[in-house]
Amino acid sequence: MKKFLPLLVTALLSLNAFAGSFSEISLADLKSAIASKKVTLLDVNGPVTYANGHIPGAIDYTAHTADLATLLPTDKGSLIVAYCGSAHCGAYARAAEAAQKLGYTNVQHFKPGISGWKAAGEATEK
């Protein structure tokens, strides 16, 4: 039993380390998914930042945490992309993990965030 406990703890910590990792989607792939209406975007920047400009069509995750399930597609294989303020922000994981817990299997991260979107010259929606 004494040897089993450290092994169990190590295994659980390893699983936890990988639980929050999501594949990244490129700007080009995100733009293509938006153009073909094959993505649901989750903006985790909060209502004030969201109101000042977000990627067109994005859902304000902070404002809709409680009713997120009603706003996401019924197809659990649909592309869900979460983003936050910049490449240095990890807040996107809250929304990505929430979608994953609801059973979505194609959850990705737009790492550049809203600042990267704007820096690329892309339009925002208010």
Q: Between vectors from CA 45 to CA 41 and to CA 49, what angle results, nearest 5°?
A: 110
pLDDT per residue as tens, the chain (126 positions): 455 444 433 433 333 333 458 999 999 999 999 999 999 999 999 999 999 999 999 999 999 999 999 999 999 999 999 999 999 999 999 999 999 999 999 999 999 999 999 999 999 999
Can you list the alpha helix ranges (DSSP code H) found in the chain?
4-19, 27-35, 47-52, 68-71, 92-101, 113-119
Please say whether the dihedral angle defined by the alpha carbons of residues 69, 109, 57 and 61, taken in this order, is positive or negative: positive
In angstroms, rounded to a whole number, what is the distance separating the alpha carbons of residues 49 and 24? 22
Would you kindly state where each structural domain of the chain is located, as residue ranges?
A: 22-119
CATH class of 22-119: alpha beta
Tell me, yes or no, if the pTM score tops 0.75.
yes
